[in-house]
Amino acid sequence: MMKVGVLISGRGSNLRSLVAATKEPGFPAAIVIVVSNKPDAPGLDVARAAGIPTAVVNHKDYPTREAFDAELDAVLCRAGVELICSAGFMRILSEGFVEAWRDRQLNIHPSLLPAFKGLHVHERVLETGCRITGCTVHFVRPAMDEGPIVAQVAVPVVPGDTPETLADRVLEAEHKLYPLALRLVAEGRTRIVGERVEIDGLPLEAQAPLFVPPVS
């Protein structure tokens, strides 16, 4: 049973899906702590309602990013965390922190990486006229929204979409994708070879990225 720490900054939408998955019999991971950099993050209530310990490391209380990261690392280590899942965690972590947790930290991003890194993803997707978007779970690296891809899911862009309607559709896909990716990692089925994830038990053509049929 892999011990997971989830980092959040907001409402905990993806956290809710991870909690539900880890409560299922036989799931190979358990969330042992949820940490937020914002004391009023609604996601903390999601964790408490599920009986999961919580902690707040308020970035405003620390003079530097490195000082904040050091406390965050200490909180995770005290909880016995083996794998971090960033789920709407709106802080850029220092290179030292990322390297300390190399290959032990996942993130979910609302695009088919490497396309549309950064913020305002859905607006940019619509501006460019893309017909397909999606979401990606990847291992974290020091550069923003970079790292070996564990899993992706395609989401169609439909006529009349707004950034809000598209975001809702992508978020629905995220809620299915993140638990799947966590399961693959927690089961020990993923290996990083040359910054590419290989997954045991999948045909070669499906390994990187893992492709899930589009969500309608």
Residues 169 and 92 placed together within one structural domain of the fold: no
Looking at the predicted structure, is the pLDDT value of residue 26 above 70? yes
For 100-116, what is each residue's pLDDT tens digit? 999 999 999 999 999 99
- Tell me the CATH number at 215: 3.40.50.170
Query: What is the rounded average pLDDT for all residues in the chain?
Result: 94
Residues 97 and 117 placed together within one structural domain of the fold: no
Residues 67 and 118 placed together within one structural domain of the fold: no
Q: State the residue range of the domain holding 64.
A: 1-101
Residues 214 and 119 placed together within one structural domain of the fold: yes
**Cβ-proximal residues to 80 (8 Å cutoff; 6+ apart), any chain:** 3, 32
Looking at the predicted structure, is the pLDDT value of residue 205 above 60? no
Nearest partner of 122 among 180, 84, 174, 177, judged by Cα: 174
- First vs last C-alpha separation in the chain: 33
Distance (Å, rounded) from C-alpha 135 to C-alpha 163? Answer: 15
Residues 61 and 79 placed together within one structural domain of the fold: yes
Domain's final residue, options 57, 85, 101:
101
How confident is the model over 119-132, as a mean pLDDT? 97
What is this structure's pTM?
0.93
Distance (Å, rounded) from C-alpha 61 to C-alpha 215? Answer: 41
From 109, 122, 138, 175, the catalytic residue: 109
Q: Is 175 a catalytic residue?
A: no
Residues 126 and 143 placed together within one structural domain of the fold: yes
Number of domains in the chain: 2
Domain's final residue, options 101, 125, 140:
101
Distance (Å, rounded) from C-alpha 80 to C-alpha 3? Answer: 7
Residues 136 and 198 placed together within one structural domain of the fold: yes
Res. 182 pLDDT band, cuts 50 70 90: very high
Domain's final residue, options 101, 124, 142:
101
Q: How many residues does the chain have?
A: 216
Which neighbouring-strand residues pair with 35? 7, 55
Tokens linked to 160: 């009349």
